[in-house]
Structures are given as C-alpha cells and as structure tokens.
Amino acid sequence: MKFEAPTEQEIRALAEELGFHWNEEDAGAYTSLIAGMSALYAALDAAPDPLPQRAPGDRTWRHPSAEENPHNAWHVRTAVKIRDDGPLAGLRVALKDNVMLAGVPMLNGSAIFEGYVAEIDATIVTRLLEAGAEIAGKAHCEDLCASGGSHTSIGGPVHNPHRRGHSAGGSSSGSAAAVAAGDVELAIAGDQGGSIRIPSAYCGTVGMKPTWGLVPYTGIAPIEFSIDHTGPLTRDVRSNARMLEVLAGPDGIDARQSGAPAGDYVAALERGAQGLRVGVLSDAFDDDVKSAPVESRVRDAANALASLGCRVEELKLPLHRDGAPLTLPLLLEGSFFNLETREGLASPPGVYPPGFMQRVRDWRAHADRLAPGPVVFGLTGALVNRRYGRRYYAKAANWARHMQQLYDEALAGFDCLIMPTTNIVAPPLPAPDAGVLERFAASVATGRNTAVFDVTHHPALSLPCGHVDGLPVGMMLVGRHLDEATLYRIAHAFEQSCDWRELS
C-alpha cells in the first residue's frame, strides 16, 4: 500500500466535516499546504521499516495433527531454540498466540488475523530463547483475547485436559491446556481480566499476573494499554519463579514499564512463609450453593497456611464486590479505542509492525465472524464514545485509582490477600449450536475476583488447592506492587506441604 496524494475535493470535504469553514482564498492556501505534505509520506514509503532484528533459530512451523493435539491446545508447533545452556535450558515453552514470533503465524484467536505471519519477535521471545528455552509452538487463545471461557477461538474450542468437553478457561486457554496436559513445562499467558489466572484455576496450573509493567509487552497484541499484562504459566511454583526472573525487567521500549528490575524470586522460595500475615478476603466468597465446595477448598488451604506458621485473619473489603464493575469501561472502551483508533497499538513509544496494523485496520471485513465478546465490547465502546467521548472511561480510571488505594491500605496490614480465583470449577463448554446469549455468558461468568487486579495493577497468582468433582480448584494470592517474591514464598510453602492433586 502506497500513500496517495489527496485531491483538493477530498481536503475540502474533510475540512468541512471537521468544522472548518474557509473562504475561497484560504481554502486554496490550505489545500496547497496540505497537499504539499504528501512528500513526507512518499519519503516514508521509500524507506525501510527499522523493526527489531529477530533472534536466530529455525522458524519452521506446522499445524499439528488431531492425534497430537487432543485438547486443541495448539495453533502451530515449532522447535525454535538458539542455545543449550541458560536458566531455562532443556525446558519447552508454549507462546500464547497473541505473542509475535517472527516468521510464524499469529492468529490471536480471530478471523482478523487468518494468514498473518508475525514480523518481529516479542521482547519476551528473545529473552526466553537467550535463557535456553525451546519455543515449542503457539497455543490457541480466545477471539481477540476477549473471553474467560475456551470456546471462542476461530481455531475451535480448547478442551480441559482434566475432563474433555469442559472449559480450559480463557483467554490463555491453549497455554493452560498445554501445560496441564504435559505437552510443555512452561507457557506464556496474558491477562486483562483474568486470562492468566482463570485458565490456571480451571486446569490446575500455576499462573502469575505480575505487577503491571514488570514484564514488557512489546510485540504482543494488546487490548488496552492500562490493563495489559503478560506472565508465566507453569506446572509448579519454582518453575514459575524461574521463568519470571527471565521475563521481567525493562526493555527500553514499552511505556508501561517503570524501570523495575526482575527480583530474585527463586531464592525467595527458601525463606518459607512462617510469620507472614495472610488476609482471607471474605467479600470475595459467594453465598451461592454452587460456590460452596470451591470456597471450602480455599478456606482449607488458608487453614493449611496457618499450620505452616502464617498469621491468617479474615478481612472485609465491601468494595471488592461492589466497586470492581465500575472499572469495566476501561476494558470496554479501551478495547474499542485500541481497535478503531490505534489500530492495535500501544501508546508510544513502541514497535509498530505494519502488517499487523493493517490487519487491525481491516477488521470490519471480518466483523460477522467475531465471537460475541468482541462484538459486545466493541459496539458498547463505539456507542459510548460516539455519545459521550471519553467521559466514562475517565471516570472508570478514577475509580481504578481509588480501588488501588483501598487494596494498598488493606495490604499495609497483610503480606498477601487470598480468595478463590474463580468461584466455580471448569464448566461444560457451550454446545456448538449455542446462541449468542449462552456463548457470551460463558465468556464473562468467571472474572469477578480477577478483573479488578488488572486495573489496580497488583500482582496476583493462582495456584491449585484441591479438587471438586475431579476438577481443579484455584486459590488466588494478591500482593503489594512489585512484591511477587512474597507471593511465591507463600505459594511454594503451601505447594510443598501437600499434594493438591489428592485434596478433594
């Protein structure tokens, strides 16, 4: 696509649409000046795009057969590796399929990206490869990452390895399923409303949503700048801590980052959890009979932490239940604004792959194939933006800051808050012929405890703490900003004290 100089008629029509009313003399002058700007864009057309260099390594890829992909966790399989040593040597990692791996298709769960091949390596891809990991492929994610279920990807539903026909959670559905099934030891997941932690809870894995900005988001398809997170999803706590040490730290590009370095998370595991104060957030528990078995497992886990020497107390924070929905416009309007105005980009500075931007710009060509979640979010955002501009987005951002202060105050007296990640275990997938209402409900049913910590930016870790009816239960630990080490200490102490697979 090449820049075409605007016509005089086009300039005048646009000016009138934007509210400029020129006399004939001024119209001629402005038309001449604006048309003269075309040379700038012609020069850019002639110049190459100075994108980051990709890491070495064979980028051969293939679509897996049904036999080697029984849970439909995988979009494509690869074997990208550049070294045999490093902190992650010998470990295989699945990338959530919104992460760019140059030369390999990226679907992002959506018809919008069918046929798109990533133009760059995400920063975290380079870091994983330099740490000795092997990238084993791209794992399916939900349509534009806008679902907490695992039924909306254009590549088909992802099944829970613990029970076929049940949800693997979303939007990092394939990442959790691949780890839970033993296909890989490590996975990259992403989180804007719970998309690391919900699939971790449903599949019985360990998922860390780090503090906002700790892990660079460069080269990952965004949803909304202020709530985009990416992080590790693994089978155990130690592996998760090892992986975060590799992923974390500034890359000099992502404007989300504050400059905070990676912590020494693995060493922190040896310090144990004795004496740490743990607050059981009572407002995160439901009275619904369906939630009782899950919440019983989480309370049993809290008692287990008390037996390990933690000081466990109940904590009330009513706005956890009532205030969190007031921040949802950040997701609704932010995702629309990112799609429609930024063409899938983060705020500057950043890296801007032209092919990716063009795919996002052309989203309307695939509108009728989008899942209910992106449709509802997009139309709501468009409607509110057209009527009121950014007024409600701004008000939601003010509420997010207020909520952050409330949790900060609670965490001044506790080292960690605990609660159910989700109040149910993995539900059945919607039937293939399910209607819009059922498919949408299955996408948004489980984020009540998770979404608020995306807008407040606190680190939150989900780890398994038992079963209900043979399906995993997730317990969520929430900590102070940039204090992932304490969450790892508590999670590791619990994990080492019992075999959660035997808890029911």
151-193 per-position pLDDT tens digit: 999 999 999 999 999 999 999 999 999 999 999 999 999 999 9
**Which is higher by pLDDT, 295 or 351?**
295
At 504 the pLDDT is 66
Domain 74-502 has CATH 3.30.43.10: no
Tell me the domain boundaries of the chain. 8-46, 74-502
395 belongs to the catalytic site:
no
At 500 the pLDDT is 67
195 belongs to the catalytic site:
yes
Query: Considering 110, 147, 153, 171, which one is annotated as catalytic?
Result: 171
Task: Give burial (CB, 10 Å; 0-12/13-18/19+) of 75.
Answer: buried
Burial 469-489 (b: 16+ CB within 10 A, else e): eebbbbbbbbbbbbbbbbbbb
Q: What mean pLDDT, rounded, does the chain reach?
A: 93
- Residues 124, 229 contacting (CB under 8 angstroms): no
347 belongs to the catalytic site:
no
pLDDT band at 345 (very low <50, low <70, confident <90, very high): low
Strands 92-96 and 311-315: unpaired
Percentage of the chain with pLDDT > 90? 77
pLDDT band at 41 (very low <50, low <70, confident <90, very high): confident
pTM for this structure? 0.94
Query: Considering 195, 226, 239, 443, which one is annotated as catalytic?
Result: 195
Token pair for 334:
């932010």
Distance CA 200, CA 196 (A): 6
Query: Considering 81, 96, 138, 209, which one is annotated as catalytic?
Result: 96
